[in-house]
């Protein structure tokens, strides 16, 4: 058995998937502000308090000025599709039941080097597989929406999804 991947920093223990079986973030201390933001409908990006550099994924030190003084800034949620894949089985349930579905990487309007992995859906409650993958175009404009998931223990986790820009 391979050893577990090493990771830096403490993490909130993995509370398990959503009641539907979707994987949810285990999270870590560095990223906690992000998930607090999604719960409020905000797409937050880590910001260096010393030089203002925006960075994602969150981490303790600014790679530009080496400051550990860090906060975050709320983004507009506007982005463009940078790339996408269409996974087919074998996959984990319940993703396998939805395959083929799309996974996209988006580049944020504020800085195209800030990218996010997500799904293109038709609306906040849309399924991963309802957009025709043939219709997805690299470069098309999207915006963030926020969907709440509930775990078996009743805890909640809100994830960003992406819809075509109106």
Q: Give the C-alpha separation, 15 to 9, whole Å.
A: 17
Residue 26 or residue 165: which is nearer to other proteins going by CB?
26
Give the per-residue contact string, 69-98, with other proteins (x = CB under 8 A; - = no): -------------xxxxxxx--xx--x--x
Q: Give the C-alpha separation, 126 to 135, whole Å.
A: 16
Q: How many residues bind other proteins (CB under 8 A)?
A: 49
| Cis-peptide into 162, omega within 30 deg | no
Answer for which of 38, 46, 119, 142 binds other proteins (CB under 8 A) is: 119
| Residue 141 binds to other proteins (criterion: CB under 8 A) | no
Nearest alpha-carbon partner for 143 in 121, 127, 114, 158: 121
| Residue 117 binds to other proteins (criterion: CB under 8 A) | yes
Question: Which residues, in sequence order, are CB contacts of 126 under 8 Å at separation 6+?
Answer: 161, 163
SS3 for 71?
Answer: strand
| Residue 23 binds to other proteins (criterion: CB under 8 A) | yes
Binding site for other proteins (CB under 8 A): 1-5, 7-9, 11, 14, 17, 22-28, 30-31, 56-57, 63, 82-88, 91-92, 95, 98, 100-101, 103, 105, 113-119, 128, 133, 138, 159
């Amino acid at each position: 058995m391979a050893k577990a991947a090493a990771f830096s920093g403490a993490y909130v223990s993995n509370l398990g998937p959503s009641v539907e079986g979707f994987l949810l973030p285990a999270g870590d201390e560095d990223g906690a502000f992000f998930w607090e933001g999604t719960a409020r409908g905000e797409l937050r990006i880590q910001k260096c308090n010393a030089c203002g550099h925006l960075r994602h994924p969150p981490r303790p030190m600014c790679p530009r000025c080496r400051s550990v003084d860090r906060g975050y800034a709320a983004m507009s949620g506007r982005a463009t599709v940078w790339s996408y894949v269409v996974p087919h089985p074998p996959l984990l349930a319940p993703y396998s039941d939805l395959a083929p579905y799309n996974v996209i990487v988006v580049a944020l309007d504020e800085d195209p080097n800030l990218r996010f992995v997500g799904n293109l859906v038709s609306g906040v409650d849309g399924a991963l597989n309802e957009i025709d993958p043939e219709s997805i175009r690299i470069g098309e404009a999207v915006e963030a929406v926020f969907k709440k998931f509930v775990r078996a223990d009743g805890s909640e986790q809100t994830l960003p999804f992406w819809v075509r820009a109106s």
